[in-house]
Chains A and B, each alone.
Chain A
């Protein structure tokens, strides 16, 4: 009875009220740490990244190559069948440029990011990563890119073993996607 309700309740507190203790508060931080078991699919994916390779899984029924790999096909609901290496080149499906860091703080150097369909993965199967060595105004959907890896000795089996994707140079990676 919106029009008939006289009072909507709630007591506003400004950030300053809180910071300067005019509104008393309890501060706390949880102890919430985890060691997630990577399992079969992600365990292998991370191990392959350490070797400078990107691996997916193929479902023989629908024929898709899935990156990141999983041991099940979500469309067919059956186990996936085989490991498939995909290339470290691909095509930008969508992109943006972040002026914010992980805690939504403003950052000096904006980060370009993209969803990239890797060559060898099924159409539409992309992965999220950063872009680098590129002028922001040159980034386009459809742009061809290639992974820039950390040196082998610095890799730890993580998505960050790829530093970023850079634009393909002319004549590079012309074999294209499947």
Chain B
């Protein structure tokens, strides 16, 4: 559309740059409580006074009703594999050494659940509906992070 275009390969020019900066994210009201709970070996959910949903991971509001959530509920660290995937690529798109199983685990009694790895199980043995339980890092190694749960393992 312009009167001139670039035709020769050596006339093509790229300019390299980035949008990389350092960030520090406060965990927020719900996050602080949730991760402090993990450090103590508890999975905490937030209960909606209107619809009764128990949200995990928790939030200070019910996304459905927009009620403020102030009631915290401790949930069992057991649940059901709602869905899973056998993952071959790492976060950067490069192949993993060994495939890993990621799952969404519906926690017993909760409206939501946790995304986490499965362990102590071969990928071909995993199925939707499988019962699993959290394997925690030893208390002294916990940091108040999602990795305080190392993975979920089958319970049958």
Direct A/B contact, Cβ within 8 angstroms: yes
Give the size of the chain B interface in residues (CB under 8 angstroms): 29
Between-chain CB contacts (< 8 Å), 26 pairs: A13-B26, A23-B32, A24-B26, A24-B36, A26-B27, A27-B22, A27-B24, A29-B22, A30-B20, A32-B18, A32-B19, A32-B20, A33-B18, A34-B18, A35-B14, A37-B14, A40-B2, A40-B4, A40-B5, A43-B11, A43-B12, A47-B11, A71-B2, A72-B2, A79-B1, A79-B2
Count contacts on A: residues with CB < 8 A to the other chain.
Answer: 31
Whether A79 lies near B3 (C-beta < 8 A) is yes
> How far does the alpha carbon of A39 sit from the alpha carbon of B35 in the complex, in Å?
48
Interfacial residues, chain B to chain A (CB-CB below 8 A): 1-6, 11-27, 29, 32, 35-36, 92, 144
The 7 residue pairs across chains A and B that have the minimum distance between CB atoms: A71-B2, A32-B19, A38-B13, A43-B13, A35-B14, A79-B2, A33-B18
Q: List residues of chain A with CB within 8 A of the CB of B1.
A: 79
Contact A37-B24, Cβ < 8 Å, known A24-B35, A31-B92, A79-B3: no
* Closest chain B CB from A20 CB (angstroms): 13
Q: Is the CB of B24 within 8 A of A25?
A: yes
- CB-based nearest A residue for B92: A31
State whether the Cβ of A174 lies closer than 8 Å to any Cβ in chain B.
no
Number of A-B contacts (CB under 8 A): 85
Q: Is A28's CB under 8 angstroms from B25's CB? A: yes
Contacts of A11 in B (CB 8 A): 29
How far apart sit A32 and B23, CA to CA, in the bound complex (Å)? 13
Report B-chain residues with C-beta under 8 Å of the C-beta of A27. 22-25
B25 touches A37 (CB 8 A): no
Write out the residue numbers on chain A whose beta carbons fall within 8 Å of the beta carbon of B35: 24
When A24-B32, A71-B4, A79-B1 are in contact, do A46 and B22 touch as well, CB less than 8 Å? no
A24 touches B2 (CB 8 A): no
Q: Name the residue on B nearest A33 (C-beta).
A: B18
Q: A32-B20, A40-B2, A79-B2 are in contact. Are A26 and B25 (CB under 8 A)?
A: yes
Known: A29-B20, A35-B14, A157-B13. A81 touches B25 (CB 8 A): no
